Amino acid sequence: MLLLGKAAAACELPPGARIESDRLAVSYWTIPAKITVGQPFVLELAACPKGGAVVSERVKLDAFMPDHRHGMNYRTKVVPLGPGRFHSEGWLFHMPGRWDFVFDLGAERLTDSIRIE
């Protein structure tokens, strides 16, 4: 049991954009790193629980343009890679502007804004 506690405390996020809630710390990155309008990309995400929380395996990833009140024209596919790690394909931003990534991780919903030119 002590080993599990140490393993949970040792959760480290890989480099990437970082966002946090009261229960989770999340790091995400895209492949390629620079998103280009009209070009598909991959998004990978890592989540570490805080304060005894658990990272859900029910993950939905999406994006939304708040200024235009619409989302992407495509639905992403999320594949678990192991505890707290996810690979997602099907991303394509069809127009420039502000996009909000939306990360639904069970009961936790986190967002992060980026600008695509």
Band (10; pLDDT cuts 50, 70, 90):
low
Q: Which two tokens stand for residue 17?
A: 């954009």
Q: In what order do the strands lie in the sheet with 108-116?
A: 70-71, 59-65, 97-105, 108-116
pLDDT value of position 38: 96
Structural domains of the chain sorted by starting position, each given as residue range(s) with its CATH number in brackets = 2-116 (2.60.40.10)
Q: Can you tell me the distance from the alpha carbon of 49 to that of 65, in angstroms, rounded to the nearest whole number?
A: 28
Q: Of all residues in the chain, what percent are helix, strand and coil, respectively (each to 5)?
A: 5, 50, 40
pTM, full prediction: 0.86
Q: In what order do the strands lie in the sheet with 85-91?
A: 17-20, 24-31, 41-49, 85-91, 77-82
Which whole-number Å values give the CA distances from 6 to 2, 28, 45, in the listed order? 6, 24, 22
> Could you report the per-residue pLDDT of 48-104, keeping only the tens digit for each?
999 888 888 889 999 999 999 999 998 999 999 999 999 999 999 999 999 999 999
**8 three-class SS:** helix
pLDDT value of position 5: 34
pLDDT value of position 2: 21
